[in-house]
Amino acid sequence: MAALPQVARISLKRILFPTDFSEASLAALPFALKLARTYDARVHVAHVILPEPHPRVLSPPITEFTAWNEANERLDEFTHGPSIGDVHCTSLLASGDLAEVIPAMIREHGIDTVIVGTRGRRGVSRLVLGSNAEKIYRSASCPVLTIGPHVNRPEWVLRTILCPLDLEGDPKCALEYAFTLAEDNAAGLIVMNAVPLVPWQHRGQVERDTCSRMRKLLPTFGKPDGMSEPQFLVRWEPPAEAILTCAEVREADLIVMGVRKSRSPGLSSRLPWPVASEVVSRAVCPVLTVRF
């Protein structure tokens, strides 16, 4: 029998960690350092000086020069502080609109992964980086690992990875990342699909057909010797609830999901951006979104 082709190796050598030095953004730092040590990656710590939302009327304005110097000192202190440890670190400082600056940093420095923290309870629209962060989240050309407000895992170990698939889209990208991360960390892989609104009498056949479709995706990548067989699940809830429930029940340490930008506000898809936002804001484990 001909050997199956192996999964394409993902690269995690350049990590972008944007921060505003708030508690929520710093909560994502241990996850960035963990991946950096695992993959011997360099972390680019980025701080963006945002434009003033409105003129100051009760206090004198901070000059651009002063703001830049203060931010540069704080960034330098952070990147050379004890929290970074032995990880290779570079500081990046810029000013402007986050939706333009962060994607430019990704292109200029060949970033493989962006890692951000969130605050609040309204998903990516409340990313700690500000109101424009949702644009970054949606437009980043590389995967984004988001640490939501309910994640509390200082000793993060990848034992179980959940990969919900959008079978109507392009599941290959998310599955590549999930498969490789599972292999690299000797983690279990759960491949799942949500199929809501199916009458109970038809669920048996739908489950068999759906699991068959998911299994057929794996030979594309191959399965290395010693890796345990992935598990295949079908859940009957709406996508966000299915993903969150499965992650909780199976004690997932990471959710890897493919996402695509809707072409129109009313367009519905298996895993639209509103679903990703809901998962990010409520998940108790980090969420890695892979755009296609």
Q: How confident is the model at residue 143 (pLDDT cuts 50, 70, 90)?
A: very high
Q: What are phi and psi of 84, to 5 degrees?
A: -75, -35
- In a shared domain, residues 34 and 143: yes
Domain annotation covers residue 173: yes
Domain count, the chain: 2
What tokens were used for 68?
A: 């830049």
- In a shared domain, residues 86 and 175: no
Domain annotation covers residue 239: yes
Last residue of a domain, one of 147, 177, 199: 147
Residue 127: partners with Cβ closer than 8 Å, 6 or more residues away: 116, 118, 119, 133, 134, 136, 137, 146
Last residue of a domain, one of 147, 182, 211: 147
Residue in 64, 40, 43, 44 with CA at minimum distance from that of residue 52: 64
- In a shared domain, residues 211 and 113: no
State mean pLDDT over 7-34. Answer: 85
Q: What local confidence, expressed as pLDDT, does residue 267 receive?
A: 36
Q: What local confidence, expressed as pLDDT, does residue 262 receive?
A: 46
Domain annotation covers residue 6: no
pLDDT tens digit sequence for 212-242: 999 888 755 655 555 678 999 999 999 999 9
Which CATH number does the domain housing residue 278 bear? Answer: 3.40.50.620
Q: How far is CA 16 from CA 30, 65, 169, 206, 254, in A?
A: 13, 25, 27, 41, 19
Domain annotation covers residue 128: yes
Last residue of a domain, one of 118, 147, 176: 147
Q: What local confidence, expressed as pLDDT, does residue 261 receive?
A: 56
Residue in 11, 29, 5 with CA at minimum distance from that of residue 184: 11
Q: What local confidence, expressed as pLDDT, does residue 131 receive?
A: 43
Q: How far from chain centre, in Å, is Cα 133?
A: 13
- In a shared domain, residues 132 and 184: no
Asked whether the predicted pLDDT for residue 65 surpasses 80, the reply is: no
Mean pLDDT of the chain, nearest integer? 81
End-to-end CA distance of the chain: 33
- In a shared domain, residues 89 and 131: yes
What tokens were used for 93?
A: 């400082």
Asked whether the predicted pLDDT for residue 7 surpasses 60, the reply is: no
Q: What local confidence, expressed as pLDDT, does residue 226 receive?
A: 55
- In a shared domain, residues 142 and 172: no
Q: By residue range, what is the domain housing residue 255?
A: 160-291
Q: What local confidence, expressed as pLDDT, does residue 178 receive?
A: 93
Residue in 237, 239, 238 with CA at minimum distance from that of residue 255: 239
- In a shared domain, residues 193 and 114: no
Strand-strand pairing, 144-147 and 287-291: antiparallel
- In a shared domain, residues 199 and 87: no
- In a shared domain, residues 279 and 251: yes
Q: What local confidence, expressed as pLDDT, does residue 219 receive?
A: 59
Query: Within 13 Å, how many C-alpha atoms sit on residue 66's CB side?
Result: 4
Lowest-confidence range among 1-15, 66-80, 146-160? 1-15
Of all residues in the chain, the percent with pLDDT exceeding 70 is 79
pLDDT tens digit sequence for 78-90: 888 888 888 999 9
Q: How far is CA 27 from CA 22, 34, 117, 237, 286, in A?
A: 9, 13, 6, 31, 11
Domain annotation covers residue 153: no
